[in-house]
Amino acid sequence: MISRAFAPAKINLTLHVTGQRSDGYHLLDSLVVFADIGDRLTFEPANENMLGVHGPFAAGVPTDGRNSVMQAAVMAGASHAVTLEKNLPHGAGIGGGSSDAAAVLRHFNVSDNAKKLGADVPVCLLAKAQRMQGIGDVLTPLPDFPPYAAVLVNPGVHIPTPQVFKALVQKSNPPMPTNLPVLNSAGDLIAWLALMRNDLQPPALSISPIINDVLTALSHHSPLVRMSGSGATCFALFKSRAQAGQVARTLAQAHPNWWVQPTTLS
């Protein structure tokens, strides 16, 4: 029997780097949400685990044990022919590979040792709004977080995460407030997020200045624009999905080489 799973894009609305442990791991405080766009996986029972990849970003994706999907399938303990429809750009700061692995584990009801597949895999298991702290292992679900319209833009550059962290000069920065406010409207969220940060945005900009072009283009349409994760994908928030859709069409026409997607975050 064929079964399916969805691996949504992960968006860091905030990303405060609050320290670095002696073993090199960075401490974070991040408000993480998930989009209604992402990769898709299909599973069909087989004699052994196999992976096929297609989709707009299939090029260069390994199909052997290097792929976190295959690693997750082994962890799940079932043999399947897995097909991955790769709709999210690589190395884009939106958790593509981590979300793919988490989708496999979620599909087969496996959650133990998810962090072995990557620091972002545990937060991707729930695939709903959460506060992520520590090294990605302290997770607080935010069940009352309402959906918000957004536009995601990636200029087509890949920035290795370790390179961005290496360029981060100040490793100990203030966390978010201990108690997060109740954010009932897009206006409330935008106003509060403007007070927060992504501490990886400045070092990412120093490595890849085109990110600033994306932020500038988005800022003409929204009061809140920011980079997600370690980049290079950026987002802008809007008060309606219709407004987000119109802005996405405008940006896609002006920048045909950019990946531009309207979405709803929750």
> Is 139:126 a contact under the CB 8 Å cutoff?
yes
Phi/psi class of residue 105: alpha, beta or left (left: φ > 0; alpha: ψ in -120 to 50)? alpha
Sign for the CA dihedral angle at 172, 179, 135, 209 comes to: negative
Exposure b/e, 72-107, CB count within 10 A at least 16 = b: bbebbeeebbbbbbbbbbebbbbbbbbbbbbbbbbb
Q: Which residues are catalytic?
A: 10, 120
In the chain, DSSP finds a helix count (H) and a strand count (E) of: 8, 11
